[in-house]
Structure 1
Amino acid sequence: MLVVIILWSSCRKDFESGPSTGNLQFSTDTLFLDTIFTNIGSSTYSFKVYNRTDDDFTIPTIGLERGENSSYRLNVDGIAGKTFENIQVLAKDSIFVFVETTTDITNQTTGTEFLYTDRILFDKGGNQQDIDLVTLVKDAVFLFPSRDAMTGEVETLLLGLDEENNEIRIEGFFLEDNQLTFTNEKPYVVYGYAAVPSGKTLTIDAGARIHFHANSGIIVAENGTLEVNGALSTDPELLENEVIFEGDRLEPRFGDIPGQWGTIWLTAGSTGHVINHTTIKNATVGILMDSNDGGTNPTLTISNTQIYNSSNVGLLARTGNVLGENLVINNAGQVSLNCSLGGKYNFNHCTFTNYSSIGTGFRDLPTVLIDNNIPVSETEIVVADLIEANFTNCIIYGNQDLELLFSKVEGTSFNYNFKNCLIRFEDRSNNFADNPLYDFTNASLFENVIFNEDPDFKAPFDNMLNISENSAANSNASTPTSGSDILGVPRNTTAPDIGAYESASFEEGN
């Protein structure tokens, strides 16, 4: 009998709940679904609907104003759809409403972006209340591997053979001749790896925006070239002339998440790469170079460029030949700059730092690692000559004691030089005191180098590496190798600053 009374009471409570009377409260009055690309689904957003009264009530109708024609999708209290009836909300309780959208821009406008809006209507007539929905939809050029109509297999690129002569492949495709210029008219969204064919050049115009899906990137084949022609921007927030490589999630919460896409891969034998006024962020490895010694001329000339938030390495060059100027690399899960397996490197007025909190926030490796060897098995090590690694007017710093390390195998050349640099190297346990690689009194290796003094960065955890007038780097560079800093601020010709930024640009953004 008791069970029957309890069940009857429960049912009676639901049955007696009256309709709401325009007295709903919401956690927001407008839900912004941020920015999405055409035909790419948004993240799922939510808000809460509150019953602040002492009585249970039922919302007679909930629905999108555009009805079944709306590009928005709802889930109300666990039920999916676009219209709903008799949704109960208990006294002093609330329900969740989840919202997402996929929108085709071609059905809406002839422009490259538009605001797509709708409303969620709660009840009708005099009791009606609403929540506005707003989404910015961008048009884009989509590049992706083909799919075999019969087998469903996705196009792949051959990377080589493994030890057992099995093919190593990755999802990707070769760019056609009419795809080898990326303009700034629309963003580009890349799925898989877009490959630059041998003997071809991918040219990227100033102001272009390139977005990569997960496990995607750019590969430049042997004798291929990447030319990124960014230019100085007048607006430090919009960076209207900067070329930007990043992931394809445009929501603000994805703005600084590492590892959203793969890498820009300059494979062995590719040549003549130029990258200028570019931002590369949130990759696994920002730039990967393989065996690009390039002879006399640099294989990669990179200037006025920022590489941020790489989950592994910012710039990883194996036997690379790199000329870098006004280059900033910060916040990598392992190493910001790895000059690996020898090569030739010349960096002028660069800022290499690591304040990464990726994973546990503890790094085993320094900001800058220079080596001439790679272990390939437990018993085999591949070595190569470090022909030169010259750092002039550079900052090497971070939130650990040892931010510069060398790994040398005897029997090969290992040449390096640091001039007018600011370096963090606090050997608190004297582990390196007798190691000749770290003989900081040797002027042929370390000339006018400042150790362990505060660079006084603006906000290094947020990738703002501007230095103030109180910085130890201020006025301590040698004759400037560039006429202006990364933001276009003229270098002081008599007392320039170490690093990519002049202190005069401290208030001009990152």
Structure 2
Amino acid sequence: MRQYFAIFILALILVFSSCRTDFDTVASTGDLKFSRDTVYLDTVFKNIGSSTYQLKVYNRSKNDISIPIIQLKKGLSSKYRMTVDGMAGNNGKIFKDVTLLAKDSLYIFIETTADITDANPTDFLYTDEIEFDSGVNLQKVALVTLIQDAVFLYPNQNPDGTKEKIKIEGKDVDGFYLNENDPENGNELIFTKQKPYVIYGYAGVSENKTVIFEAGARVHFHANSGLYIGDKASLQINGTASTTEKLENEVIFEGDRLESLYSDIPGQWKSVLFANGSMNHNINHLTLKNAVVGLDFKNPYNNITIQNTQIYNCVEYGILAQNAQITGENIVINYAGLASLSCVYGGNYKFTHCTFNNNWSTPSQFSVSLSNSLTGAVPESNALAQATFNNCIIYGSSTNEFNLNKNSNSPFVYQLNNCLLKFSSSSTNPLYQFKTDTEHYNNIILNENPKFYKPSENKFNIDKTSAAFAKGNQVYLIPLDILGIARTSPPDLGAYQSQDFPK
């Protein structure tokens, strides 16, 4: 009997619970609140998908509500797509009878893929609206995206469906050689500022060809892509000084994600790789960022000139030089997982008025590393004929930012003149006797703070309070700094002439 009574009570509970109205909804009355009234999806290249952006929708009322419709104003033809609380709706465009509980919220995630022809021809903006409900209860949130036209360079597809490949260091990689008579793009060996360029795979420069980047050129590399300067090929980067922070006259190499989220993420593309036997390279006013290795020199044939160049946020190296000959002036490098500047397997180097810094997040990286050896090479050592640093700053977040790896089987010649250097640990190693070894070190400022303006933002300007102020030697003077500002006498150390910082 007690068993039947218990079943009876359970049945009553189920009946009454099924009659609860806790989750009954009322129609939306147009009182929704939003985390923003306009969603800007940043700039995208034509036909390249954007990142995903978020809109939060709030129900501030005491009632559970039903929103009859959430839709894009342009409907199924819209180039935007959404998910609403994880639901895909009708092709990501139209959602019906969406429930939103009292004092609760829901998330809408928005993306776009649009062509330049979809945008307004006067301002290249593609716009739409998210509509909530209709009639007197209609509420809207605007969507805005800037669509940027570009020249796209990529490997062709072979008849068998595979991609075109080129050989780099003995390996076949997705890539193509730039064509000076391309039927669609014209001369692909000359990069202008008329449109940005987007490169997929490795863009190669073939033997006896020269690739030229004119002032203001913008080059965006897709993931795992890069630029390959082949045997007997040359690179000429002809940027000039800019007058604004937009760097309008710089040549800029970076990834192809334009959203602000990606502005400082390392490793978005591979490298500018200089092959064994490449020759006659001149680089002026280049800004390169977010690569794996920025400039990668593998036994180039003759001298390389690098001037007024900035390299940031590389997973491994800013500059990796293997048995190279480099003359560098007004170079700034920061954030590299292994070393900002690494010169291996010997070579011949002269750097003047450069700022080598490394604020990578681990304690094991260097700003400058020099070596006359290379693991696995035959022979494994090679002469470091010269490595001279004049009026430079070598600094960063590690205890020691200067590394020497000497193999006694080959010459190892180096000298630092009027440099600010961070090397905080005491060492009995004869390579690091900064105060007593006058053959290798002259007028070294050791472990004093250069007081960079904003190093976390890659702004390495200094002012009169810096330990690098007026500590340079006039003998090594480069008349203009990296910004084109005249240096005073005696000059400051590093790539920047001192100025008063903005208040």
In the superposition, the TM-score normalised over structure 2's length comes to 0.93
Q: What is the Cα deviation at residue 215 of structure 1?
A: 0.6
**Among 86, 91, 103, the residue aligned to 2:97:** 86
- Measured against aligned partners, the alpha-carbon deviations of 1:38-85 in whole angstroms (never above 9, x if no partner) come to 100001111111111111110011111111121111111222221121
**Cα drift, residue 106 of structure 1:** 2.6
- What are the ranges of 5 or more consecutive residues in structure 1 without an aligned counterpart? 162-167
Within the alignment, does 1:306 sit opposite 2:310 as a pair?
yes
* Residues 208-247 of structure 1 mapped to structure 2, 5 A cutoff: 208-235=217-244, 237-247=245-255
For the residue of structure 2 that corresponds to 1:271, the secondary structure is coil
Q: How does 1:122-161 map to 2 (within 5 A)?
A: 122-149=132-159, 151-161=160-170
1:248 aligns with 2:246: no
Match of 2:478 among 466, 482, 488: 482
Shift in CA distance, 61/443, structure 1 to aligned 2, threshold 3 Å: same
2: distance between equivalents of 1:369 and 1:6?
77
Structure-2 residue corresponding to 1:457? 452
- 2:294 aligned to 280, 286, 289, which one? 286
Give 3-state SS (helix, strand or coil) of 1:126's partner: helix
Match of 1:419 in 2: 417
Equivalent in the alignment of 1:363: 363
Deviates more, 1:312-321 or 1:480-489: 480-489
* Counterpart selection for 1:386 from 376, 384, 387: 384
Report the alpha carbon displacement of residue 160 of structure 1 after superposing the two structures with TM.
4.2
- Distance in 2, Cα, partners of 1:506 & 1:416: 34
Q: Distance in 1 between matches of 2:327 and 2:219?
A: 24
Q: Determine the C-alpha separation between the residues in 2 that align with 1:73 and 1:192.
A: 28
1:206 alignment partner in structure 2 = 215
Following superposition, the deviation at residue 472 of structure 1 comes to 1.1
- Following superposition, the deviation at residue 461 of structure 1 comes to 1.9
| Alpha-carbon separation, structure 2, partners of 1:421 and 1:96 | 54
CA displacement 1:137-196 (0-9 Å, x = unmatched): 1000111111124x32111111244xxxxxx22111111112100110111011111001
Which has the larger strand fraction? 1
Name the SS of the counterpart of 1:99 in structure 2: strand
Q: Please give the secondary structure, in 2, of the residue aligned with 1:503.
A: coil
Alignment deviations for residues 199-226 of structure 1 (CA, whole Å, 9 cap, x no partner)? 1011011011100111111000001011
Residue type matched to 2:80 in 1? Y
Q: Which residue of 1 aligns with 2:441?
A: 446
Sort the Cα spacing of 1:439 and 1:83 in 2 relative to 1 into closer, same or farther, 3 A. Answer: closer
Aligned to 2:175: 172
1:364, 1:86 → 2: CA distance? 56
1:506 CA drift (Å): 4.5
Note the C-alpha offset of 1:372.
0.5
Which secondary structure does the structure 1 equivalent of 2:261 belong to? helix
Which residue is 2:45 aligned to? 37
Q: Residues 239-282 of structure 1: CA distance to partner in whole angstroms, max 9, x if unpaired?
A: 11011111111111111111111001111111111111110001
Post-superposition Cα deviations, 1:119-140, rounded to whole Å, max 9, x if no partner, equal 1110111111010001111000
Matched, 1:372 2:372: yes
SS of the residue aligned with 1:186?
Answer: coil
Residue 318 (structure 1) aligned to one of 319, 322, 330: 322
Runs in 1 of length 4+ with deviation above 3 angstroms?
A: 2-7, 107-111, 436-440, 505-508
Which one-letter code corresponds to 1:387 in the other structure? A
Corresponding residue number in structure 2 for 1:117: 127
Cα distance, 1:103 vs. partner?
0.6
The offset of 1:439, in angstroms, is 5.2
* Matched position secondary structure for 2:456: helix
1:343 equivalent in alignment to 2:344? no
Structure 2 unaligned regions, length at least 5: 1-10, 181-186
d(CA) in 2 for partners of 1:6 and 1:309?
64
User: Which residue of structure 2 aligns with residue 164 of structure 1?
Assistant: none
Closer, same or farther: CA 40–9 of 1 in aligned 2, 3 Å = farther
Does the C-alpha gap of structure 1 residues 217 and 2 become closer, same or farther in structure 2, counting only changes over 3 Å?
farther
Q: Distance in 2 between matches of 1:34 and 1:436?
A: 50
Could you tell me which of 390, 404, 412 is aligned with 1:406? 404
Cα 1:55–1:420 change in 2 (3 A) is same
2:364, 2:398 within 8 Å by CA — same for their partners in 1? no
**C-alpha distance in 1 between matches for 2:259 and 2:18:** 48
The structural deviation recorded for 1:504 is 2.5
Aligned position for 1:275: 283
- Whether the 8 Å CA contact 1:331–1:461 is kept in 2: the answer is no
SS of the residue corresponding to residue 97 of structure 1 reads strand
What SS does the aligned partner of 1:484 have?
coil
C-alpha deviations, 1:304-325, integer Å up to 9, x for none? 1100011111000010111100
CA distance in 2, matches of 1:33, 1:497: 43
Q: Give me the whole-angstrom Cα distance separating, in 1, the residues matched to 2:371 and 2:194.
A: 42
The answer to whether the aligner puts 1:56 opposite 2:56 as a matched pair is no
In the aligned structure 2, how far is the partner of 1:25 from the partner of 1:109? 29
From the superposition, tell whether residues 5 and 384 of structure 1 become closer, same or farther in structure 2 (CA, over 3 Å): farther
Deviation at 1:333, TM superposition (A): 1.1
CA distance in 2, matches of 1:85, 1:20: 12
Inter-partner Cα distance in structure 2 for 1:5 and 1:271:
86
| 1:28 aligned partner, one-letter code | R
Q: 3-state DSSP class of the match of 2:499?
A: helix
Tell me: CA distance 1:273–1:373, structure 2 relative to 1, closer, same or farther (3 Å). Answer: same
Deviation at 1:13, TM superposition (A): 4.8
Shift in Å, 1:444: 2.1
Q: Between 301-310 and 456-465, report the one with greater CA deviation.
A: 456-465
Letter in 1 for 2:220: H
CA-to-partner distance for each residue in 1:294-345, whole Å, 9 max, x for gaps? 2xxx1x2110110001111100001011110000011111100001110010
* 1:481 CA drift (Å): 3.0
User: What is the distance in 2 between the residues matched to 1:117 and 1:6?
Assistant: 50
Question: CA separation in 2, counterparts of 1:218 and 1:33?
Answer: 29
